[in-house]
Every structure is written in structure tokens, then in C-alpha cells.
Structure 1
Amino acid sequence: MSASRTERLLNLLIALLNTKYGLRRSELREKVYHDTTSSDVAFGRMFERDKGELRQFGFDVETVTDKGWGSDDPATTRYRIGKESNRLPDVSLTPEECTVLILAAQLWEHAALGSAAAEAVRKLQAAGGLADAELPTGVQPRIRPAGQAFEDLVAAMHAQHPVSFRYLAGSTGKEEERLVEPWGLGSRFGQWYLVGHDRARGDKRFFRLTRLTSAVTVLDKESFTPPAGFNVRAELAALPELPLQTAVIDVDRGRLLGLRKRAVPAADGTQQPGTQGPAAGRDRIAVSFRDAETLGEELASYGPRVAVVSPPELASVVRRRLTAAAAFAAAPVPAVAFPAAGRPGRTRKGTSEDQLKRMLQLVPFLVHNQGLHISEVAARFGITRKALEDDLRILICSGLPEGYPDDLLDIQWDDDHVFITQALDLTRPVRFTVDEACALLTGLETLNGLPELAEGGALESVTLKLMAAAGEAGLKAAALSGPEVAPGNAATLETARAAIRSGAQLRLVYFSPQRDAVSERDVDPLRLYSLDNTWYLEAYCHSAVGLRNFRLDRIEALAPNGRPSARTAKPADSFPVKLFTPNDDDTLVVVELAPRGTGLADDYYAERTAPLPGGGMLAEIRFGSTDWLPMFVAQHGGMVRILEPDSLADASRAWIAAALAQYKDSPAGPID
């Protein structure tokens, strides 16, 4: 990161903002750049690059030309930036509106657009429009990350660049290269979809992100114009739901209670024409489904405990996943080596532009929050104290071209409390970027599914205020649509929420698919949160003597047991909430992740990772229970395999081989 470049851009911005009539290029070269050595051509190139950088921040650099009176009085060109250029309008929010807004921003905390949402909130804090708010008791919805493809597609969509990727067509089962103009991204039927113009087919198409079989390549040398008034939510609403079908499955007797609970009577019985009855020790059941891929993923995880009788399409899906898992498990094993520093971060290296963007938030934030401790300021911006002090040192050396004391930004933090007395017209933050506007407005739209938030008018009023503040960037939010976050079992959620508010202990009856058993537990409820529309209860479990996370759709009964919570534990300090609580006696497992499966490192909180040639990854993950890991490998169909310990690797291979033996006569196609 070049401090000199950041300082130069900041000084240029301040100079152009604080001139009424404009400054000539020669004046800027002398007083801002202090350039006396480079040629006119070299300086001109640097000046044009810097103007381009300021335009990327949304500051419109105006060119003012004064015509001369004659040949001895040539025309003069001056430059300036209007004081209202790209400034965030004043946004005044009520406490109720602040509550809704913070919840909308936090939806993305562990997902794509999380950093954009945090920056948007900081801008509102910097402008003094965001008051402290009390969040609803125990209810904290979240959007599940949709992987690197989602982030790449969002970036391409906002920059209006076409993309290419390999895609497995659901209708043909064939994998093909696609060249697409990305118009919008949204969630429907529990899946993320890309809506765009397929250039090869010359028409609009819908692409399910789970069917992308390669990384997304952004063609940043090309551009496109999306249709006027495009709304991805309206487009996805027109997608028909898949028809309801019935699967006939043979299940080991006494096993897979969760699958059995979903059994339905078959319309014509479970004995299919041309098939024999179930083998000894097995029961034949029927299960309703709409998407063969979704049910096939679940059935593949059950390995040799289930066999699909019909329909053939479902049997083919299960076999494809198992075949891919077996092939990956049999591939040559890479050397297992992790960097000494542990898990490398995924964030890109900071740039001068990043630092300038932060400073343009920092100055108005300090103006509206005088006297905060320097450590608190650093925490608000997600940086170290040293990084903040580096920013402040650049700021206090920046100002108007004359450079007199009154022409410089004046910031003091000698006693560790930060005060600013000269802001040089930087008292308002920059207007929302497209990413920031999309993060907030899409989050607010997503919260519409929670009745307690949709009531009272705060959700609607804050949406209107932010739309007005975002301007043109807000209109592009129609290209992004979040998932439904309303729970399917509202009564269970309300019972848990009431217990959290009152401090009551709960007795729950819970089905654990890993143990394939139902248990009764007494728990102290601490917090409710969601990942998309899957809701969890974080609670202290007295049976397990520790924090546990219970899926609401697996709670069969829930009621107060008449005792108060023991209050022996508190919820985790911050999100993302870990679905798995590490313990000293956990097993460390080394897995290899295929390029499409690298997101599992985040999902399962890998302690160490190492990149592999070709885009794959090694990951070291801590598991409290390892009995279900063969199910985990089979479920993900060629995206993950166990390398260490050897006993678990052998167990997963045996599990997959035994499952595949049941489908030796079934055709197999490519894995999605």
C-alpha cells in the first residue's frame, strides 16, 4: 500500500472540493503534486489516472474552460468538484428504523456483501443518522454464503461484464461452456439462481449456482446493458415449482428415522412392476419429493442403508454422486503440508483506494463521534490500532494546497481519545456504492418474511429513506433478491423466543440424524438465529454439559419444564455462530477439497488450509464425532475426501463402495 499515493489522492480531492472557481493544472502540479522533475506528458498521465480514481469514488471532476480574448490571451482550463458531489444525503432514522436496518445489515455478516453492508452502516454512523438500537430478543437471521461463484457474479453483474463458466444442464445432464450476461441473482425454492442472457442461445436463461462445475471467469474487457426495469424477484416468481413425485426406497430395518417420518402411502403400492420385494432386513417406503438432485444428495449420504427402487432418474442421481465420491477417493493423494502460519486469510491485499475509501468514512465519523477511544475507533472500522494511527498520520498531513496550519486536517489523539477540529468539508461520507445499496436494500426486502419486523411500518419507512439516499445505486438493488427467512415452524420459534425473554428452561424432544435417534433434553435457551430459512436454537444443554445448536425443524416437541434457566452459559460473542463447538478431545481430520468444494473449509471452520494446484485445497478440521464422516463424503459427491486419519479414509471408501454395489446395473451420468 502506497501512503504517498493515498495522501496525493486525498490532497487532490480536498483541493478540488474547496475551490469555487477551479484550479489550473499548473497550480495543481505545483501546490498539490509538488512535481518539478517529470515531463508534461508524464505528469498529464498521472493527473488523468488520479482523476479517474476520484471518478470511481463518484466524485465528478468538472472541467471549466475560460475562453481567451485573443491570440495573446489563450483559453484557460480549470478543475473543481462540487461540494455536493457524491455526498450521502442526510438520513434521519428513528430507533425502530435503526433496529430494522442493523438486522438487515447483519444478514450478510458471514456471506457475500458482508463487508459492503458493514461499510454502509459505518457511513450512516459517520453521518450521524444511526442511533443505538436494541435488537429483538433472541432473533438474528442470517443469509448463508453462496460461495465464490456468488461473489464473482455479483461483481460482474454490477460492473456489467459478461461471464463464462461450465454448467451441467438439468434437462440433458450434459456439461457445457456457457457465456452469459448476468442480469440478476436471487434465491427461489431454497436455491440460488443466476438470471441472464445466454449469448450462445440468444435468449434469457436461469442457471442454478449448484450446477456450475467450474469457477466463474469475468470478461472484464467486454460490457453489456441489462434490460430496463429488470427485477430478479419478479423473474424468479415466474419459475414454476417442480411437480410432486413419489420415490420408492428400500431402507434398513430400524434405521433412518428421519426419512421414515416423511414416508407417505404410495398411490399404487410400493411394489413396482418388474422389481422384487425388499431384501431381508429391509422395509420398502415411499417418500414425496420435487427435486431429484436435492433428495439424491440426502440419499447418497445414507450410503448402503438405502437403495432407490424408483424412479430411475433418482437412482441415477444417487449413483452419480457415489461414483464421483469413489473416483475422488481413489485419486492420487497429494502431500499433506500446511503453512506454519496456519490458515491463510482470503481477503485481498489492501490498496491505496481501500485506504482512501476508509479515510473518507473516518473523517465524518470522527466529526460525529468526538472523543472516542482510539481502540474503539479501530474496532468500528475493523482494523488494528497501528493501521488506524497510520491513517491518522496521513490525514493530519493532508489539506489545502497552501499548507498553512488552518489549511490542514486537525486531529489529536495524544491521550488515546480522538478529536477532530478541522474537517475541510469532509464532514459527510461518500454516497452508497452499488454493493452497499444492494446489501442494505436486499436485506430489508428479505426481512419482510418475518411478521414481527414487517409490522409497525418501520421496515417500509426505512426502505423508502434508504432508496432516496442511495439514488441510482439503489435502483440496481432490484438485480439481487435474498432467500425467504421466515421459519416453517413459527410456533416452535415463538415458544423458544418467549423462554429466552422470560429466562425459562425448556424440555425438548430432538431428532439427531447423525445418531439416527430421538432424545429428550433440558436446555437453557440463549439465542435464535437462521441460515436462510433454516432456524437454530443455541442453548446450554444439561445432558451434553455444554453449548449446542438445535435445528428447529428437528425439534419434535418443545415446552417450558417449570424451572428457570441456570444461566451457566452465554451465547457466543459474535457471528457467525459456530454450528460445532470445539472440544479438547475432538478428532483432527485432514480432508482434500475439490475446487468446487473449497467453501466447505469455511462451513466447517477449518483450523488450517493449504492451496493445491488446480484450485483445490487441503483443510484440517476438528470434529467432535467422526461416525458420520463417511455420510459427509458420500453426500458431497466428489467435492471432499478424507486423507487422515487412515482409519476414517478407509471407512469412507468402504461406505461408498457398499452403497455403489446396490446400483451396479443403473446408468450413471455426470455429477452436478
Structure 2
Amino acid sequence: MPASRTERLLNLLIALLNTKYGLRRSELRETVYRDVSGNDSSFGRMFERDKADLRHFGFDVETVTDLGWSEDDPATTRYRIGKESNRLPEVELSPGEWTVILLASQLWERAALGTAAANALRKLQASSRLTDVELPVGVQPRIKPAGRAFDDLVAAMHAQHPVSFSYLAGSTGKDEQRTVEPWGLGSRFGQWYLAGYDRIRQAPRYFRLSRLTSAVTVLAKENYAPPKHFNIRAELDRLPELPLLTAHVDVRAGRLLGLRQRALAGTEGHTHTPDAGYDRLDVQYRDVEVLAEELASYGPDAMAVAPGELIAAVTRRLRAAADFCAAPVPAIAFHDQPRAGNVRKRTSEDQLKRMLQLVPFLVHNQGLHIQDVAERFGVSREELEEDLQILICSGLPEGYPDDLLDIQWEDDHVYITQDLDLKRPVRFTVEEACALLTGLETLNGLPELAEGGALESVTLKLMAAAGEEGLRAGSLAGPAVGPADRATLDLVRQAVSSRSQLHLVYLSPQGDRVSERDVDPLRLYSLDNTWYFEAYCHSAQGLRNFRLDRVQELQPNGNPATAALEPNEGFPAKLFTPNDDDTIVTVQLTRQGTGLADDYYAERTSELPDGGLLAEIRFGNTAWLPMFVAQHGGSVRILEPRELADQSRAWIEASLASYGG
């Protein structure tokens, strides 16, 4: 959508909002569309597309006809937009409720719904002034969805389009093509599930996203109607947990301490002994794909012995990684400016949505510095000024100067004095309602929030404000975010509050060793139900992130925290913090693996014709990159530096050789 169409849609919206009786097509063509060439047929098609876009943005375009006349007659049909039906009701929030809303919106920080959550938050800020709140110590959960497939499925589900993908069937162990009407997405047992109607099986089915072996294709020309009042959380509550199974794994002597600690005692019942230099372990698991991903990352240090399903899963990942590493290398060129965050390009639709949020936000927050406004909307100052330039040229068709939006930013402070009935934010979209309401439901897993009244009260307020769109939030269910070891979390949280040191014994899988450290804890945060704490490590003399489930011993050492540091880069915490002296690695990602650019905070990306990406990522420790490539089984490969690419390929070839490949 070119900039001229952005301006045209904005002017059309203002015209339809500010007419009491409605405007005919001929009147709109002479005013809003006067600069558009073409015949009546092309104008009619353009007008219908624009009406559809306005409805997509949340505005109901009403059709009004003279008594006794048909809507098919353009001369007697008028159009308007009601001033109340499309607006978000005013929502008054207490400081405690704002705290809960902020946490719920930031759950989706790096997910597809992150943009929708940020948009919903800005709409609330425009209808109820944001109160200064302090986020509670140790309550910074986040949701980590299952990569690009999650994004595509959410988009298809909300637009009610079927999808197709290749799926590794658990019953046959073979790839099968599926066409599915997606009804809901939810997390259970540490896995994301899609529930929907399988058109090939002609029955409802569940699909684990970890078993998708291709990118998701959205069938945008088809539609379906989901069951009324479908609730994915209720559906998954009836889903039985996978049975606990045992795998036989040969592990190189002295290696993989973490896997050894999880192994069962004894090796009774083994009919064959491992090769020299290896130990045979019995490891319990529920999901063969999850264990296969882990074993593939260990390369030649671990080999699956049984069952055959596990051997096939590991071999398939290694073979896919080897094939991708051997594929022709694309031309390496980065045309995009360095950027962080979601790799999706901003579109003109994003710009128009932003401008529709910008006007009510400025009305309720007069005099903010222009840089503060830009940061609130996640854009550069230059992008914001481009938005403002379009806004001040928009208004009623052929109106007087007072009929234009009046926005000024003298001395870098922004004021708006004429809003043309755009002073109230548009109602929540389905995506925005789902992002906030699913986030609030996910926070129920945190006792310190669930026990208070703010979580329940703000959920009721948002359900009322969201209306029909809020009812569709039942199509999403987040993971359980409560920590597995509450005692350890409480101990770290207390140390953060009291600014005291802790002594810990910690297992580092990358270094494959156990170490003792004295640390100054700074904050706690989580990804799904995996909790971390950020701390100044006196051994490493720098900030480090520690997983709570890898802490083997933890106790106060009696000393106060001595490092005069604050948590790194504000909220939310970054799991991977690049440094200037890190190695810059150029990787190629398939369409399925593009989410890794976000997970590892790529500094530059460039799109490839097949939907994949080139990405530049900083890595402090490059020794584990072969494990990284093997783990993701054909979704990522190293291109530069060349020696790291060669090491990864040799690692994978050695791994395949242990399986006879």
C-alpha cells in the first residue's frame, strides 16, 4: 500500500466518521478520490477494497439507503461510520491493574502477538492514562512460541483460513501432508499443540508443532467456520500426558554431565556393551522429538541405541543438517539497516494502524517530547515525523483549515488541538484481545499475582471492553509459567530484594562442567516455565544468566551485594547479551528457522527468495556452534567465518558416521 493510499484511507475514515447522514459514492469520488484516475469500474473496486481495509482496522462501515431503494443503486446509497460502535470503551485501571496489564502485554515480547499486545497497551493508555507502576521483583515471565509456524498459524486462525503442512505422524513415523482448519493453539506438557479439523482424516485432530517438518502454507483463498465457543485450554485439559519411556544412549566417557545426572541408576537388561570409551545410560523421556533434538546437538559425544524411533529421529535431524550444510551458498548481501526485534518488515498498513493509535494517545498525553513518543511506539524519530506530516495534511474533504488535524511539535514537544473525532482509540482487534486476555490467563500460574484481586478485576474489565473479539481469546492458551522449584526462586527473589550475595554450585552444559560461584542477583525472569536469574558473577567478573533448574546448590554466603550494577538493558531481560568483542557469525535460516534471528538478537538480516533469511549474530562462545546447527536439524547453517562453517560440517558428518551414515 503506497503512501498515497495511506493518506486516502485516512481521509476516507475522517469523512465517514464526520457525516451524520452518510456520503454517496459520487460525493466521495469528487472529494476523497479526486486525484485517482480510472473509470467507474476501477473506482468501484478501489472503494470496496478501502472499505474492507477500514473494517480490518476495526471500523464498521454502515450502508444507509433511502426508503424503498436497494443497496445496488449507488445514487441512493450512502456510507458512514458510527462514532460509538467502533470505539474502545473507557477502561479505568488502578496501579495494581496496570502492573498486571504490563506483565501480560510483555509476555509476548518476541512472539507474533508481541505487536498486537503493544498495540492493545497503547489503546488502553489512550483511554486511561498510564499510572507510574513498579514491576514486582522476580515476576518477569515471557512466552516463547514454536517459531515461525506459530506466527503463521495464529494469523491463519484469526483470519479463518485453512493451512497445509507436512507432519511427522506418530503412528507411522512417516511424513504426511495435512490440510487443517485451525481452531486453537495451546501449550501443554512443555509442547505447543494445534487443534483443528483435519480435512484429509475428516475428523478433529491434535498436532504437536514440534512434529511439523515443513513451513506452514496459509490457504488464503479459502475460509472455514470454527466451532462456536471453542476453548483450547479446555480441550488440552482432556489430553493425556505422553507416557514415560526409557531410551538407551551411549555417551562418551567423562562427557555430558547434565545427561548423566538425569540417567537412571544401573544398566540391567542391556544385551550389548557399548564401544570402548563410551558408557551406556538409561534416560527417561516422554517426547521422542525433544530427546532427539538434544541428542543430535551432542553430536559424536552421544549415540541413541534404542528405541528405533529415537534413532530414526536423531538421524533425520542430522541428515537434514548435513544436507543443508552441503547446499549451494547464496550470495551474502545485507541491504537492510541494522535492527533488533522482530524481523518482519513494517508495512504501510502498520503505519496507518499506528497513526490511528497516535491521535488518541497524543490527545491524552499532551506535550510529550517527540523522542518519548517515538520510543512508546517503537519507531525512530524520522518515522514518527513522517506519520505526523501525513496526519497534519489529513482532514475533511474540501474542508476549511479548521477541518484538518492540527498537530504541532515546536521545541520537540508534541501537541494536538484538532482531533476530528479520532480522540478515542478503535476497539480491540481479535489479535489484540487474544494477546492480552491469554496473557492474563497465563499469569494465573504465578501465586503472587493470582492471589491478589487485581488479576481477576482487570480480566473482567478487559473482557467487557473487548466484547465479541474477547470471546475468541479461547482459541489461545499459554504455557504454565509457575516455577518447578518454588523454594529456589524464593531464595533468589529474597536476595534480589535485600541486595545480598549468593553462593551457588552450577552446571554449565556448554562448558560441560560444574562450578562454584559467588554472585550478586539482580532479577528473575522466565521463558515459559523455565526460570532464569541475572546476576553479577564474581568469578567471571561480569553479568551472567543462570537457569534455576541447573543450580545444584544455593545458599546465602552472608555478604552484601558489592557490584554497583543495575539489570542489563531494562525490561524485559535478554537471555543472550551480545558484547562488542563477540564473534560476528553469518548464518542462513530456512523459512522454518527465521525465528532464531529474533531469539539470538540478530544485528542485521536480509530476506532470501525462498522465505529464509541471512542473519548476522554475535556469539561470545563459538565452540558450541556445531551443537547449535545439529540441534536445529536443517533450519540453520553457518556461512561465515569459514572455519566455523567447516567445523560444524565436520561435527555433523562425524555424528552421522556413528549411525552408519
Change (3 A) 1:491 1:125: same
Is residue 215 of structure 2 the alignment partner of residue 219 of structure 1? Answer: no
The residue correspondences of 1:52-71 to structure 2 (distance < 5 A) are 52-67=52-67
Q: Which of 409, 412, 422 does residue 413 from structure 1 map onto?
A: 409
- Is 1:514 equivalent to 2:500 in the alignment? no
Which residue of the partner structure matches residue 534 of structure 2?
Answer: 538
Match of 1:182 in 2: 182
2:148–2:593 contact (8 Å) kept in structure 1 = no
In structure 2, what is the equivalent of residue 125 of structure 1?
125
How much does 1:184 deviate? 0.9
Secondary structure of 1:108's counterpart equals coil
Greater Cα radius of gyration, structure 1 or 2: 1
The separation in 2 between residues aligned to 1:110 and 1:577, in whole angstroms, is 11
Cα deviation for residue 566 of structure 1 reads 2.0
2:12 aligns with 12
Aligned length: 655
Q: Which moved more, 1:527-536 or 1:559-568?
A: 559-568
CA contact (8 A) 1:149 1:216 kept: yes
Q: Within 2, Cα distance between the matches of 1:304 and 1:117?
A: 43
> Counterpart of 2:101?
101
Aligned pair 1:640/2:645, yes or no? no
Match of 2:321 in 1: 325
Aligned to 1:380: 376
Which residue of 333, 347, 350 maps to 1:350? 347
Q: Kindly tell me: are residues 350 and 594 of structure 1, through their superposed partners in 2, closer, same or farther at Cα, counting changes over 3 Å?
A: closer
Q: What is the SS of the residue equivalent to 2:545?
A: strand
**What SS does the corresponding residue of 2:505 show, helix, strand or coil?**
strand
Which position in structure 1 is the counterpart of 2:192? Answer: 192
Task: Within 5 Å, give how 1:546-565 maps onto structure 2.
Answer: 546-565=542-561
Residue 270 of structure 1: which of 268, 271, 282 is its match? 268
* Contact residue 446 and residue 481 of structure 2 kept, 8 A: yes
- Measured after TM superposition, the shift of residue 146 of structure 1 is 2.3
Letter in 1 for 2:483: P
Q: Which residue of 2 aligns with 1:116?
A: 116
Going from structure 1 to structure 2, the CA distance change for 1:561 and 1:116 (only over 3 Å counts) comes to same
Q: 2:422 aligns with which of 423, 426, 448?
A: 426
Where structure 2 has 5 or more consecutive residues not aligned to the other structure, the ranges are none
**Contact 2:148/2:591 (8 A) holds in 1:** no
Q: Is 1:337 equivalent to 2:335 in the alignment?
A: no
1:652-667 correspondence to structure 2 within 5 Å: 652-664=648-660
Partners of 2:45 and 2:277 in 1: CA distance: 79
Deviation at 1:425, TM superposition (A): 2.0
Deviations 1:420-443 (A, max 9, x none): 222222221000000100100111
Quote how far apart the aligned CAs of 1:523 are.
1.2
Deviates more, 1:355-364 or 1:507-516: 355-364
Which amino acid is the alignment partner of residue 48 of structure 1? Answer: E
Say if 2:455 is the partner of 1:459: yes
Q: How do 1:471-490 residues align onto structure 2 when only pairs under 5 Å count?
A: 471-490=467-486
5+ unaligned residues in a row in structure 1: which ranges? none
Q: Deviations over 1:442-491 (max 9, x none)?
A: 11111111111111121111111111111111111111111111111111
In structure 1, distance between residues paired with 2:53 and 2:251: 63
CA contact (8 A) 2:533 2:545 kept: yes
Q: Which moved more, 1:12-21 or 1:439-448?
A: 12-21
Cα pair 2:147 2:596 within 8 Å, conserved: no
Greater shift in the superposed pair: 439-448 or 645-654: 645-654
TM-score (norm 2): 0.92
Cα deviation, residue 223, structure 1: 0.6
The structural deviation recorded for 1:297 is 1.9
Contact 1:322 1:660 (C-alpha < 8 Å) held by counterparts: yes
Please tell me the residue identity of whatever aligns with 1:234: A
Call closer, same or farther: CA 1:270–1:662 in 2, change over 3 Å: farther
Shift of 1:57: 2.5
**What is the CA-CA distance between 1:262 and the residue it aligns to?**
1.4
Counterpart-to-counterpart distance in 1, 2:179 and 2:442? 30
The answer (yes or no) to whether the contact 2:91–2:124 under 8 Å persists in 1 is yes
Query: What SS does structure 2 have at the residue aligned with 1:10?
Result: helix
Evaluate the alpha carbon distance shift between residue 396 and residue 603 of structure 1 in structure 2; reply closer, same or farther with a 3 A threshold. closer
1:209 Cα offset (Å): 1.5
Residues 84, 584 of structure 1: alpha-carbon distance in 2 compared, 3 angstrom cutoff: closer
Q: Is the 8 A contact 2:181 2:197 kept in 1?
A: yes
Q: Is the alpha carbon distance of 1:634 and 1:374 closer, same or farther for their aligned partners in structure 2, counting shifts above 3 Å?
A: closer
Sequence identity of aligned pairs in percent? 72
- Alpha-carbon deviations, 1:173-203, whole Å to 9, x = none? 1112211111111111111111111111100
Residue 642 (structure 1) shift? 3.6
For residues 49-102 of structure 1, the C-alpha deviation after alignment (integer angstroms, 9 at most, x for no partner) is 333332222322223333489xxxx98443322221210011111111110011
> What is residue 492 of structure 1 aligned with on the other side?
488
Residue identity opposite 2:8 in structure 1:
R
Distance across 2 between alignment mates of 1:451 and 1:340: 47
Render the CA deviation track for 1:106-165: whole Å, top value 9, x for unaligned: 001111110100000000111125423221124211111422221111111111111111
Report deviation, 1:608.
4.1
Counterparts in 2 of 1:392 and 1:270: CA distance versus 1, 3 Å: same
Match of 2:569 among 562, 566, 573: 573
Change beyond 3 A, Cα 1:564–1:328:
same
Residue 557 of structure 1, CA deviation: 1.6
The verdict on how the C-alpha distance between 1:480 and 1:498 changes in structure 2, with shifts beyond 3 A counting, is same
Structure 1 16/313 Cα, relative in aligned 2: closer, same or farther at 3 Å? Answer: closer
Secondary structure of the residue aligned to 2:411 is coil
Return the letter of the residue paired with 1:55.
R
CA distance in 2 between counterparts of 1:355 and 1:278 reads 61
Aligned pair in 2 of structure 1 residues 417, 597: CA closer, same or farther (>3 Å)? closer
2:226 matches 1:230: no
Compute the RMSD of aligned alpha carbons: 2.7
